[in-house]
Amino acid sequence: MTVTDTAASKLDKSAKIFVAGHRGLVGSAVVRRLRTLGYTNLILRSHSELDLTNQSAVKTFFTIEKPQYVILAAAKVGGIHANNTYPADFITINLQIQTNVIDSAYRYGVKKLLFLGSSCIYPKHAPQPIPESALLTGPLEPTNEWYAVAKIAGIKMCQAYRLQYKWDAISAMPTNLYGPNDNFHPENSHVLPALMRRFHEAKVSSAKEVVVWGTGSPLREFLHVDDLADAVVFLLENYSDLGHVNVGSGKEVSIKELAELVKEVVGFEGELVWDSSKPDGTPRKLMDSSTLAKLGWEPKISLRDGLVGTYKWYVTTQ
């Protein structure tokens, strides 16, 4: 693994940085972090302003804007239901976005690109904690393999351009994320925002109980999106090598502990009931983030503090 000299690696604060997908959970956090650190020349485009699946439009954008750095956080994302219903969309749209942005970034003189993937790239039965070396060692989780295959292709594309063109493209794979701008949709959201919404609505309606599927025993890892954004900028400034890098908190919490903590943060005073007739899902999913730790980065936001901040954001945006 290669770490560039930290003192010499800091990017010029006026460098043109294109954050693709700046309105999403990850992209918006990356923009916040860059601005906090004093970066003043961010290039941002909404989907209506620039359709990243349109190769001609992407080429024109890079020709005119000539960004020096690219953070590729744009993607079509969704839960199990969406992946099962629209598999062609998930594989095609993500492949188009990645191919257009990565290829144009190289061809139009971008110095460095950071591609963001997902922990779903790893095999369903990967060893725990999951090391980077587990990639492509077994079958994927079938419910989101279309998205996962596209993300794996993105990693391999960055590696291929590094090998063939000696171009500085790197990849980061975050664990389960949460925070401001998360998806709180009642049907399509992930476990943490779904729990927060349900407890909030139960509190508002003075419900006596909230029923949660399963036994609460599965172990999961969560990382606040502002910690991920900090890691993204750290890697952009300090890392340059072929291998992708896991980004996790390194801390596990059971779904039961998580539900009780969310209940406490929201202030729901009713009863939490577990429906053990419903499935639990994968018993454990934890990323091995030791590569990133050895580079000198570690998360700073505790789960409790992160939940408090996320709930404040959720309440103020309703």
**pLDDT given for residue 5 in this prediction:** 38
For 81-95, the pLDDT digits (tens) are: 788 899 999 999 999
- Is a pLDDT exceeding 50 seen at residue 265? yes
Q: With contact defined as beta carbons under 8 Å apart, do 173 and 118 qualify? A: yes
Catalytic-labelled residue, pool 69, 147, 161, 178: 147
pLDDT band at 249 (very low <50, low <70, confident <90, very high): very high
**pLDDT given for residue 4 in this prediction:** 43
Q: With contact defined as beta carbons under 8 Å apart, do 220 and 255 qualify? A: yes
- Is a pLDDT exceeding 90 seen at residue 281? no
Q: Residue 248 is encoded by which pair of tokens?
A: 């996790």
Active site annotation includes 165 = no
Task: Map residue 69 onto helix, strand or coil.
Answer: strand
Give all strands (DSSP E) within 117-194, no chain letters: 168-174, 176-178
pLDDT band at 283 (very low <50, low <70, confident <90, very high): confident
**pLDDT given for residue 9 in this prediction:** 52
For 28-54, the pLDDT digits (tens) are: 999 999 999 999 999 999 999 999 999
Give 94's Cβ-side CA count (13 Å radius).
29
Strands in 17-20's sheet, in edge-to-edge order, are 42-43, 17-20, 69-72, 112-116, 168-174, 245-247
**What residue type is assigned to position 179 of the chain?**
G
For 160-202, the pLDDT digits (tens) are: 999 999 999 999 999 999 999 998 987 777 889 999 999 999 9
